[in-house]
Amino acid sequence: MAEQELERIYNVPLRKEAMKAPMYVRAAKASRALREFLVKHMKSDNVKIGKYLNQAILEKGRKNIPHHVLVKAVKDKTGLVKAELVGAPVEKETSVKEVVKKEDVKALLDKVDKEAIKKEKQEEEKKEVLEKPVTEKKHGEKLKKELTNEQEEEIRGKDRPKRKDKTEMIKK
């Protein structure tokens, strides 16, 4: 990372420029005004606006922008100006290689964890199958109760006859 050449804190007025635009465009106009302000005062065409500063502009919606914002602008030796809201947390920059390495490590750990979980489940299922007797039915099948003739008559009622076979019903 290039060392900083210049660091300044500005109170950037946004209202004057934003009032020139219609209501639904005010946040965009305020962002452009902020960028123009920093180009003029930091004397660099390459300006990056930080995410916390952008969130502060859009906090109340695109129609109701803040009248001014307190900005910390840092200019590198390469001429890049990074603007961020004063008091915003500083984010550590990570290179692309570090990010890729972290993602690879996480992916490998997830794979290993998934495989281990599958093996554990298979072992548990094997244990359950071995422990249960063969006569026991699976969970998906419903247990059918076999009733005696007396119990059927009680449930159905004594005066009602048993249902005849379909063939007998069709014949009539």
Domain residue extents for the chain:
4-85, 94-132
What's the average model confidence in pLDDT over 42-51? Answer: 93
How far apart, in Å, are the Cα atoms of 159 and each of 162, 164, 172?
10, 15, 22
Residue 106, pLDDT above cutoff 70: yes
What's the average model confidence in pLDDT over 52-69? Answer: 94
pLDDT band at 130 (very low <50, low <70, confident <90, very high): confident
Contact 91, 1 (CB under 8 A): no
The average confidence (pLDDT) of the chain is 81
Which residues lie closer than 8 Å to 45 by C-beta, 6 or more apart?
39, 79
Right CATH number for 4-85 from 2.60.40.10, 3.90.1150.10, 3.90.45.10, 3.10.440.10?
Answer: 3.10.440.10
The pLDDT value given to residue 140? 47
pLDDT band at 163 (very low <50, low <70, confident <90, very high): low
Alpha carbon 40 to its chain centroid, in Å, reads 39
The pLDDT value given to residue 145? 59
pLDDT band at 159 (very low <50, low <70, confident <90, very high): low
pLDDT tens sequence across 11-32: 999 999 999 999 999 999 999 9
Residue 63, pLDDT above cutoff 70: yes
Residue 148, pLDDT above cutoff 60: yes
